[in-house]
Amino acid sequence: MGTSTALFLARRGCDVTLVDREGAAMRATSRWNEGKIHLGYLYGADSSLNTARHVIPGGLMFGSLLEQLIGRDLDSHTTSQDDIYLVHRDSVVGTQVVRAQFRAVSELVRQHPDASRYLTDVSAARATELSPAELRAIAGDDIVAGLRVPERSVNTRWVADQLVAAIDAEDRVTLQTGTEVLGVDGLPDGRWRLRADGGFADEFDVVVNALWNGRLPIDVTAGVTPEPPWSHRYRLCVFARTREVVDVDSAIVAVGPFGDVKNYNGRDFYLSWYPVGLMAEGSDLELSAPETPTGVELERFLDGVRSGLGAVMPGIGRVFDHAEEVTVNGGFVFARGAGSIGDPASGLHRRDRYGVQRFGSYFSVDTGKYSTAPWLAERLAKEIAE
């Protein structure tokens, strides 16, 4: 969110300082996630369809906005097949409800004027049911139905590298990395003084707080009181590269605390199994990242992903068997809701309240989703520049 905003602002003629506590930009959650460019199907438990309506516009525009920012074609770093939603017998919503919800989401997508601008043309989007034979070929006994939808995902590590290169090439952006923001103080003239560790301090006309898991404590220093409820989670996932092409579908087990597999190009994979990957959660102002496991604990984590996911998608064992490189990394999820994802009434099944809050020339951004960040960033940059 911060990187996209900085690039869009610079291209509108603004001078920008991008501050990050990591040693480089794009090292945190936006590098280590699944990269699903949402059309709204995931939020099958939000019967109001508000989440789908909220994520669709940004998801449809993700590819063209990102290509503008990085000056590269995304095609070969985007999944080429439809995603499959596998409905688990313990899904928080039943199969009939999922089917009806997917029909309604498809209709919202089809009706949208930007439907042809998605990563693949979705102006005729629909969810198609897997036949019993197709389902048996890929799914375990706990899966009761499967629906194919035209959602795509991007390889987030490749995107992160391209955004870093774009920032490096942008004269109007000054990178201030390795610098932890400690506070933002309002000045009498309406400007802002940013304080950071290492003695860094500077004054700015406009501040955009896009710190994700680190956002709320800084809002407080700026005089903004966060509105409960909110929650943070830290999830660990597996990023694998195989020696040879492995033919495994991109699929997500829905709806609830299960897992998913993403096949970006036949050799690069994302795998997650929620019950073992959820490393920390809380509703304090900020959640710290737990240590990434090593040694025996790392082996136990990998076994947990393999057995949890393998029970519902037996084919994924081949990804592990043919892996030449396995990276385990994690990221944060901030949500304007709390509770357990296994509870249908939990606020975590909605993502319709994120976005930008403005307080004079201080902007606090709840990114909400990776998939909508460039779209939010473009609108924010326009508002600031104008």
Ligand X SMILES: Cc1cc2nc3c(=O)[nH]c(=O)nc-3n(C[C@H](O)[C@H](O)[C@H](O)COP(=O)(O)OP(=O)(O)OC[C@H]3O[C@@H](n4cnc5c(N)ncnc54)[C@H](O)[C@@H]3O)c2cc1C
User: Encoding tokens for residue 329?
Assistant: 């990394």
What character string, x for contact with ligand X (CB under 6 A) and - otherwise, covers 252-291? --------------------x-------------------
- Say which residues have a Cβ less than 8 Å from residue 307's Cβ, sequence separation at least 6: none
- For the CB of residue 247, give the shortest distance to ligand X in the complex, in Å: 22
Amino acid at 374: P
> Which is closer to ligand X, CB of 286 or CB of 343?
286
Number of chain positions touching ligand X (CB under 6 A): 33
- For the CB of residue 96, give the shortest distance to ligand X in the complex, in Å: 26
- Say which residues have a Cβ less than 8 Å from residue 330's Cβ, sequence separation at least 6: 32, 234, 235, 236, 237, 277, 279, 289, 290, 292
Binding status of residue 367 toward ligand X by CB under 6 A: yes
Please choose, out of 14-22, 66-74, 104-112, 166-174, the segment that lies near ligand X by the rule CB under 6 A. Answer: 14-22
Name residue, tokens 């987030």.
Answer: 156
Binding status of residue 235 toward ligand X by CB under 6 A: yes
Could you say which of 6, 20, 166, 231 contacts ligand X (CB under 6 A)? Answer: 20
Binding status of residue 202 toward ligand X by CB under 6 A: no
Could you say which of 6, 18, 35, 39 contacts ligand X (CB under 6 A)? Answer: 35
**Would you list the DSSP string of 100-118?**
HHHHHHHHHHHHSTTGGGS
- Say which residues have a Cβ less than 8 Å from residue 284's Cβ, sequence separation at least 6: 232
By CB neighbour count within 10 A (0-12 exposed, 13-18 middle, 19+ buried), where does 4 fall?
A: buried
Q: Are 150 and 122 in contact (CB under 8 A)?
A: yes
- For the CB of residue 56, give the shortest distance to ligand X in the complex, in Å: 12
Binding status of residue 33 toward ligand X by CB under 6 A: yes
Could you say which of 1, 66, 115, 147 contacts ligand X (CB under 6 A)? Answer: 1
Q: Are 224 and 303 in contact (CB under 8 A)?
A: no
What character string, x for contact with ligand X (CB under 6 A) and - otherwise, covers 41-80? ----------------------------------------
Binding status of residue 181 toward ligand X by CB under 6 A: yes
Could you say which of 5, 8, 34, 287 contacts ligand X (CB under 6 A)? Answer: 34
> Which is closer to ligand X, CB of 94 or CB of 337?
337
Please choose, out of 6-14, 240-248, 326-334, 356-364, the segment that lies near ligand X by the rule CB under 6 A. Answer: 326-334
- For the CB of residue 216, give the shortest distance to ligand X in the complex, in Å: 10
Please choose, out of 19-27, 162-170, 187-195, 314-322, the segment that lies near ligand X by the rule CB under 6 A. Answer: 19-27
In the chain, at which residue ranges do the beta strands (DSSP E only) sit? 16-20, 36-37, 83-88, 128-129, 143-149, 152-153, 173-177, 181-186, 192-196, 201-204, 207-209, 231-242, 251-254, 259-263, 268-273, 278-282, 323-335, 355-359, 362-366
Residue 362 and residue 191: Cα distance in Å, rounded? 9
Amino acid at 33: N
Segment holding 275, helix H or strand E: helix 274-277
> Which is closer to ligand X, CB of 129 or CB of 281?
281
Q: Are 313 and 262 in contact (CB under 8 A)?
A: no
Could you say which of 180, 185, 281, 343 contacts ligand X (CB under 6 A)? Answer: 180
Could you say which of 5, 6, 36, 175 contacts ligand X (CB under 6 A)? Answer: 36
> Which is closer to ligand X, CB of 29 or CB of 106?
29
- For the CB of residue 59, give the shortest distance to ligand X in the complex, in Å: 8
Q: Which residue's beta carbon is nearest to the bound ligand X?
A: 214
Please report how many Cα atoms fall inside a 13 Å half-sphere around the Cα of residue 336, on the Cβ side.
14
- Say which residues have a Cβ less than 8 Å from residue 75's Cβ, sequence separation at least 6: none
Residue 271 and residue 254: Cα distance in Å, rounded? 15
What does the binding site for ligand X look like in residue numbers (CB under 6 A)?
Answer: 1-2, 19-22, 27-30, 33-36, 38, 180-181, 210-212, 214, 235, 237, 272, 331-333, 367-371, 373
